[in-house]
Amino acid sequence: MRQSEMLVPTLREAPAEADAAGHRWLLRSGMIRQLAAGIYSYLPLGRRILLNVERIVREEMDRAGCQEVLLPIMQPAELWEESGRYTQYGPELMRLKDRHAREFALGPTHEEVVTALARDEVNSYRKLPFTLYQIGTKFRDERRPRFGLLRGREFIMKDAYSFASDWEELDRTYQAMNTAYSRILERCGLEYIRVEADAGTIGGQGETHEFMALADVGEDTIVTCKHCGYAANLEKAGYETSGSSVNNSGQAEVSAVPTTADKADGNAEGDTLVRIQTPGVRTINELSAFVGEDAQNMIKTLLYQADGQLVAALVRGDHEVNDIALKQVLGAEELILADETALAGHPKLTVGFLGPIGLDLPIVVDADVAVMEHAITGANEVDVHYSNVRPGKDFALDNVGRIRFAAEGDGCPTCGESLVFTKGIEVGHIFKLGTKYSDAMGASFLDRNGRQCAPVMGCYGIGVSRLMAAIAEQYAGEEGIRWPATVAPYHVHLIPMSWKDEQQRELTLQLEQQLIDAGYSVLVDDRDERPGVKFKDSELIGLPVQVVIGRGAAEGQVEFGSHVLAAQGESKRISMTAQEA
Ligand code: ATP
Ligand code: MG
Ligand code: MG
Ligand code: MG
């Protein structure tokens, strides 16, 4: 491919909307563009990455014996009424009416559609088990779309649905999907952990696991035990109870109010500790957008419950944070910059922000004065110090310095050793649904003995566009994303210093042909640009291998660079002859 003919609008600066490292690089390297909040266009390079991820997912689904289908995005509201989710799903479900005023939903997931299909087409145990999957666009009107492709309102998902005649059969499919998911994530080059999840909110009847890609921007907290291998999400591990602010879809919820149960668990002496989770909020504008009227009300409720008043908000950040606006948002009389001197005059501090505003925004009501220093250095860099606080009582920190509920040194539910808390991105989720949907929607089959039974279902989702974003997050470097070869838009970047130079051009074309013949995909920077511009763009694009064709072309000499080799400790640039290359 000739770069001069390709739409690769690289940017020298990241647009203001970019709120995570991977997202910034995806925008800067001209791979994606935002059309509306949480809605993105994939430009040619980005599309190629997405297609590579899709290919990996498809290959592993096929290997696991699943059958590909394509189900409608537009779904009649009646189907959703049958399952009881038309009202239950809430505002995340995008609804629309056709010209006859019939109601429809834009599919956020496809249990209803697929169960209706099975109800109509499958009536005997002879047809079971089977698993259908599709790769397609999903719509969820997320309350807070963020981090680019990580939480979109229109996004690409692979969703699969299995139908079995009994739980044992379901278990075999579940294990096969588990293996397939692990293979997918490994092939994508992701560092991940599989955790036990909580089925409660989805209403499944059996076990469920989430696959979490490790990343600081992750909105999920993973609870692990190094000793025995226990791994669960926060809810499953028993944290984030009713005072928690995270709803089942990981969004910040501002209606949470602490209960006596929370007081009892987290804070023996009756202090109330409540967290509003606002990952990624870095500027006061973002903060005000989040802390709307309902949050203010919540803060008031808390204060009322705590029988206190908002004397001051304890804030320290870089001065990107506009103190006056923050004061208005909180309705605090005073804002105190958090250093010991400033706090000396305010021993009766009742509300404080603890932790980097960029990640979590806990509010401590009526706690001891917690002196906090932090620097808002961006969503990925956490730099927090605390003094005068009582860890384990006021709060505890996870291993990246963020605050969580509960006491420090909590023991593993399995072996009692200390738990570790890490941030993760939920990239995949597998559930044993049981007969929830088949019962609700009346799907049934005749078993071996002629008895009518409900098929036992499983569902398995993997965020294809979220995977791309998770890779971007894990492979974000100093100059761009260093794409793993399995998903990179091209394998090799050929960079002739001067396309006008006949020898360079010829050597480039010759190399291109040889590489294509050997089965590699190649991007040729044939633009009439200065070398500096070409290098910068090449780093932004981040292909696994760069070959620079310069003055040495006459002697067949090229320069060879590879972040893949560099990561393995080999030198970044080596000279070699075109033949060797
Ligand atoms: P989250 O907790 O992040 O909101 P979820 O639990 O609501 O995700 P599922 O219903 O389990 O999501 O959907 C299956 C998969 O689809 C998720 O594991 C995730 O990879 C992906 N996914 C869900 N919501 C989004 C989104 N808004 N943008 C991109 N991918 C998403
Ligand atoms: Mg989730
Ligand atoms: Mg969700
Ligand atoms: Mg999920």
pLDDT in tens, 157-183: 999 999 999 999 999 999 999 999 999
Separation of 426 CA from ligand 1 center, angstroms? 7
Q: How confident is the model at residue 313 (pLDDT cuts 50, 70, 90)?
A: very low
Q: Is 249 in the pocket of ligand 1 (CB under 6 A)?
A: yes
Q: Supply the pLDDT for residue 402.
A: 36
Separation of 104 CA from ligand 1 center, angstroms? 21
Ligand 1 atom at minimal distance to the Cα of residue 159: 14
**Rg (the chain; Cα; Å):** 27
Question: Which residue owns the Cα nearest ligand 1 atom 6?
Answer: 249
Q: Is 279 in the pocket of ligand 1 (CB under 6 A)?
A: no
- 46: tokens are 């980005």
Higher pLDDT, residue 322 or 225: 225
Helix (H) or strand (E) holding 233: strand 231-233
Handedness of CA 13, 19, 20, 26 (dihedral sign): negative
ipTM value of the model? 0.99
Question: Which residue owns the Cα nearest ligand 1 atom 2?
Answer: 249
Ligand 1 atom at minimal distance to the Cα of residue 467: 20
Question: Which residues have C-beta under 5 Å from ligand 4, the single-atom ion?
Answer: 429
pLDDT at 537 over 50: yes
User: Look-up: residue for tokens 């490994």?
Assistant: 186
Q: How confident is the model at residue 236 (pLDDT cuts 50, 70, 90)?
A: confident
Q: Supply the pLDDT for residue 548.
A: 93
Question: Which residue owns the Cα nearest ligand 1 atom 14?
Answer: 461
Q: How confident is the model at residue 381 (pLDDT cuts 50, 70, 90)?
A: very low
pLDDT at 122 over 90: yes
pLDDT in tens, 31-61: 999 999 999 999 999 999 999 999 999 999 9
pTM of the model: 0.76
Q: Is 461 in the pocket of ligand 1 (CB under 6 A)?
A: yes
Contact 330, 313 (CB under 8 A): yes
Q: Is 316 in the pocket of ligand 1 (CB under 6 A)?
A: no
Q: Supply the pLDDT for residue 364.
A: 35
Ligand nearest to the CA of 459: 1
- 242: tokens are 């009713």
Question: Which residue owns the Cα nearest ligand 1 atom 19?
Answer: 463
Q: What is the mean pLDDT of residues 544-573?
A: 77
Separation of 514 CA from ligand 2 center, angstroms? 46
DSSP 8-state symbol, 92: G
Contact 351, 330 (CB under 8 A): yes
Q: Is 66 in the pocket of ligand 1 (CB under 6 A)?
A: no
The C-alpha atoms of residue 503 and residue 491 are separated, in whole angstroms, by: 23
pLDDT in tens, 71-87: 999 999 999 999 999 99
Q: Is 430 in the pocket of ligand 1 (CB under 6 A)?
A: no
Separation of 454 CA from ligand 3 center, angstroms? 28
79-85 contacts at long range (C-beta below 8 A, 24 or more positions apart): 79/112, 79/113, 79/116, 79/441, 80/105, 80/112, 82/112, 82/116, 82/440, 82/441, 83/111, 83/112, 83/115, 83/437, 83/440, 83/441, 84/440, 85/112
Beta pairing partners, 37 = none
Q: What is the mean pLDDT of residues 438-452?
A: 97
Separation of 244 CA from ligand 4 center, angstroms? 18
Q: Is 140 in the pocket of ligand 1 (CB under 6 A)?
A: yes
Q: Is 469 in the pocket of ligand 1 (CB under 6 A)?
A: no
Task: Kindly report the average pLDDT of the chain as a whole number.
Answer: 75
Ligand 1 atom at minimal distance to the Cα of residue 211: 18
Looking at 234-388, which runs of residues are DSSP E strands? 272-276, 312-315, 334-337, 351-353, 361-365, 371-374, 384-387
* Bridge pairing between strands 492-496 and 522-524: parallel
Q: Which of 466, 467, 468, 471 gets mutated to test ligand 1 (max ligand atoms within 8 A of its CB)?
A: 466
Ligand 1 atom at minimal distance to the Cα of residue 463: 20
The C-alpha atoms of residue 32 and residue 471 are separated, in whole angstroms, by: 15
Q: How confident is the model at residue 204 (pLDDT cuts 50, 70, 90)?
A: low
Beta pairing partners, 575 = 559
Separation of 149 CA from ligand 3 center, angstroms? 13
Higher pLDDT, residue 442 or 260: 442
Q: Is 463 in the pocket of ligand 1 (CB under 6 A)?
A: yes
Separation of 358 CA from ligand 1 center, angstroms? 22
Question: Which residue owns the Cα nearest ligand 1 atom 22?
Answer: 463
Ligand 1 atom at minimal distance to the Cα of residue 461: 14
Ligand nearest to the CA of 53: 1
Q: Is 152 in the pocket of ligand 1 (CB under 6 A)?
A: yes
Lowest mean pLDDT among 101-110, 225-234, 512-521: 225-234
Nearest to 155 by CA among 557, 386, 468: 468
* Bridge pairing between strands 557-562 and 545-549: antiparallel
Q: Supply the pLDDT for residue 218.
A: 87
Question: Which residues have C-beta under 5 Å from ligand 2, the single-atom ion?
Answer: 426
Ligand nearest to the CA of 466: 1
List all residues 6 or more positions away from 168 whose beta carbon is below 8 Å from its beta carbon.
none
pLDDT at 290 over 80: no
Ligand 1 atom at minimal distance to the Cα of residue 108: 10
Separation of 102 CA from ligand 4 center, angstroms? 30
